[in-house]
Amino acid sequence: MTESPKPSVPPNIEEFNKVVALVFAQLYEAFPIMVDLIDRDGIAAAFEVKAGEWASHKLPSGRGFSDVMTYTIAWLNSQNYIVSSGAHPAERVVLSDKGLAALNAVPSQLSGSVGSRLVQQTRSGNWGGIQEVIGGLIGSAAASYQKGIVS
């Protein structure tokens, strides 16, 4: 019996996961210090988006880079993975207890914490395993949250 190939991740989810990984890596390295402004230029560089082209640059999903970055950061804030005390969700940001707990997790398939893995991979520009790490991170946090509601 042959193993069926893994389904491909839609481009919008790949883009979301990459922004999440970059934001989490920044905040994990800075923790517990609040970041005045998330390094959006660094995120743009990881997507190979030039300065001044954020709004016009289309990603493989067909969405604009600026929208994907802004709405992803806002989602992390609304889901309580990060805490923002600025006028924009990317200003004056720190990991929440939920975000820190998720990044400190050490899944059996990793030799270190999720946060350490994200920092290493984002520094090296190795996006290969990011999809699984972020997918597992968000999925396990959602399952924990749902379990807490039921009990």
pLDDT single digits (tens) 71-94: 999 999 999 999 999 999 999 999
pLDDT at 63 over 70: yes
Confirm whether 39 is domain-assigned: yes
Q: CB count, 10 Å around CB of 10?
A: 11
Percentage of the chain modeled with pLDDT above 70: 82
Residue 59: what residue type? L
Confirm whether 3 is domain-assigned: no
Confirm whether 6 is domain-assigned: no
Secondary structure, 3-state, the chain: CCCCCCCCCCHHHHHHHHHHHHHHHHHHHHCCCCEEECCHHHHHHHCCCCCCCCCCCECCCCCEHHHHHHHHHHHHHHCCCEEECCCCCCEEEEECHHHHHHHHCCCCCCCCCHHHHHHHHHHHCCCCCHHHHHHHHHHHHHHHHHHHHHC
The single residue listed with the structure tokens 């997507």 is: 47
Confirm whether 91 is domain-assigned: yes
| Domain range enclosing 20 | 11-150
Identify whether the C-beta of residue 77 lies closer than 8 Å to the C-beta of residue 94: no
Say how many domains are in the chain. 1
- Which pLDDT score is estimated for 149? 45
pLDDT at 6 over 70: no
Question: Band of the pLDDT at 65, cuts 50, 70, 90?
Answer: very high
Confirm whether 1 is domain-assigned: no
Q: CB count, 10 Å around CB of 24?
A: 26
Confirm whether 94 is domain-assigned: yes
Distance CA 93, CA 61 (A): 27
- Which pLDDT score is estimated for 118? 87
pTM to 2 decimal places: 0.83
Question: Band of the pLDDT at 141, cuts 50, 70, 90?
Answer: low
